[in-house]
Structure 1
Amino acid sequence: MNIKDYNKWVVEFYKKRNWYDYDPFIRIGFLTEEVGEVSRAVRSLEIGRDRPDESVQTTEFYKENLMEELGDVLDNVLILADKYGLTFEEIIHHHQQKLENRFSE
Structure 2
Amino acid sequence: MELRKYQSWISEFYKKRNWYQYDPFIRSNFLSEEVGEVCRAIRAIEIGRDRPDEQQSAYQESLENLTEELGDVLDNLLIIADKYNISFDEIMTTHKKKLEQRYNHK
Query: What TM-score results when the alignment is normalised by the length of structure 1?
Result: 0.97
2:89 matched to which residue of 1?
Answer: 89
Q: CA deviation at 1:30?
A: 0.3
Residue of structure 1 in register with 2:11 after alignment: 11
Q: Given residue 8 of structure 1, which amino acid in structure 2 is its aligned partner?
A: S
AA matched with 1:4 = R
Q: Which runs of 4+ in 1 moved over 6 A?
A: none
Count of paired positions:
105
Helix, strand or coil: the match of 2:19? coil
Q: Which runs of 5+ in 2 are unaligned?
A: none
Q: CA deviation at 1:97?
A: 0.5
Q: Residue 60 of structure 2: SS of its match in structure 1?
A: helix
1:9 maps to amino acid? W
Provide the identity percentage.
Answer: 61
Question: In structure 1, the residue corresponding to 2:85 is in which secondary structure?
Answer: coil
Letter in 1 for 2:70: L
Task: State the superposition RMSD in angstroms.
Answer: 0.8
Structure 1 unmatched ranges of 5 or more = none
**Partner Cα distance (2:8, 2:57) in 1:** 35
Deviations 1:44-90 (A, max 9, x none): 01000010010011110110000000000000000000001100100
TM-score by length of 2: 0.96
Q: Distance in 1 between matches of 2:72 and 2:43?
A: 17
CA shift, 1:104, in A, is 1.0
Partner in structure 2 of residue 80 of structure 1: 80
